Structures are given as structure tokens and as C-alpha cells.
Amino acid sequence: MNTTELKEFLDTKVVQYNTPDFITSDPISIPHQFQIKEDIEIAGFLTATIAWGNRKMIIKNANRMMALMGNSPYDFIMNHKTSDLDNFDDFVHRTFNADDFKYFITALQHIYTNHGGLEQVFSSHVESTTLQPAIHQLKKIFFEIPHLPRTTKHIGDPLKGSAAKRINMYLRWMVRNDSTGVDFGIWNSLSPSQLSCPLDVHSGNVARKLGLLNRKQNDAKALAELDTNLRNLDSIDPVKYDFALFGLGVFESF
């Protein structure tokens, strides 16, 4: 396919998969349970953090996270007592365990108390065309209070070579103003044009088959290459193509 044909094909797939029907079977269904901005962004952040592996298990465990916080994540984070975290002791999702979860609660309280919240952290460090340096800064701020070294692995750092798939997915949820009602678009201080496509096995393999990506590893360099090519297709809303790449890979085994 030439560029025009490729764009038409992918635009068709975006329309096919970027619909409310997508929500139910996707981790984005968790923040869709809430209406308050802070609840949405915290539920989204915690859900994105554990979003690897079987999607049904991701949704099940993310729902359990919300239940452990009384289904009021912002209120819990800001007002919990240390003893409340004892209820987390048997939580585990793959390598994300109770100690990690407890620290994430503490770090989020720190961010909302001392840094103006998650949106403020990202918007304070964004560059004109990319949010990747802002992800690096988020990780620095997130772990600037005492923590277990093991917990740092749960947030990727683009400046250390990571594609940071889960954070980029989370940023799509928060920033992209989606007229179909899938993504939230509640972070108006950032632009969809600054977003990067969540790069994983599915989107990476499809992108390579379509000639959008040559690099074999799914790392920060591959993400930069994919970003460039998706921006050539749509500079205003490049990550809408995440729906196309993901749908082709997961639902059509493209």
C-alpha cells in the first residue's frame, strides 16, 4: 500500500474499533466507572500500571484494587490511615505485589499533596512535540520518597530505553478527546498531538507488517520511529491509530 492507501485502511480500522463496544473488554473500563476527575485519573493510573498479561485478569485485579480503596480512589489516597493498607497484604498481579501497591498509594498521595496531581506533573515537564521526557520526570517524582528498589520497575523510563507502553496508554486515555466516548480527554493542558502510541507485541508486529516500523525491539527508539510515521498520517491525533494496530493484532490476528 502507498501512504494514501495505508491511511485510508487504518482510518477505517480506527472507526471499526474506536467505539463504546471496545470499553467493556478493555482495562479502560475501570476508570469509566467513575465521574470525578481525580477518581478517573487515579483509577486509570493504577489500572494502566498492572495492564500486562491476560486482559480479563487485568480487569479483575484492577476492580479488586478499586474495591480495596472503597471504590473512592482519590478520597482513599488522600485520607487513608496506614492501618488501612493492611487490607492490601494478599494483593498480587503478576510481579506487582502488595508492597508495590502500598507504595503507589503513598506516592500518589505525595504527588497530589505536593505536586498538584498527576496532570500537573506531566504538563509541567512536557516538550512541544512529545511527552516522553515528562514520563521520565514523573518517574523521578514518583520515587523521590523512600521506596523499595523493586517497585521502580513498574514505571517505564523512556530516557533509559523503555517504550513505556502502559504510561503512554494511560496518557492516551487522559488526553485524547474522543468523540466516541472511549478516551476521556480530561487533561486539557496537554495535546493529543504530543502523545505516543502504546507500543507492545501486538501493535509492534502489526506496525512492522504495514511498514510503519523497522526496528525489531519494542523500545524507545522503536517508539520514536513509530511516532514519526503515525504523525505523517495524522499530526493532530496520531495515537488514534493505536485502535487500528491493536484491533488488527488482537482481534484479526493480522
pLDDT tens digits, one per residue of 161-174:
999 999 999 999 99
C-alpha cell at 98: 502488595
Burial 169-193 (b: 16+ CB within 10 A, else e): bbbbbbbbebeeebbbbbbeebbbb
Is the Cβ–Cβ distance between 158 and 199 less than 8 Å? no
SS3 content of the chain, % helix, strand, coil (to 5): 65, 0, 35
**Across the chain, which distance is largest between two alpha carbons, in Å?**
60
Residue 128 has pLDDT above 90, yes or no: no
- For 56, other C-beta atoms within 10 Å of its C-beta total 9
Separation between Cα atoms, residue 135 and residue 249, nearest integer Å: 26
Is the Cβ–Cβ distance between 133 and 82 less than 8 Å? no
> Once rounded to an integer, what is the mean pLDDT over residues 222-246?
97
pLDDT tens digits, one per residue of 58-110:
999 999 999 999 999 999 999 999 999 999 999 999 999 999 999 999 999 99
Separation between Cα atoms, residue 227 and residue 240, nearest integer Å: 12
71: left (phi over 0), alpha (psi -120 to 50) or beta: left
Instruction: Give this prediction's pTM.
Output: 0.96
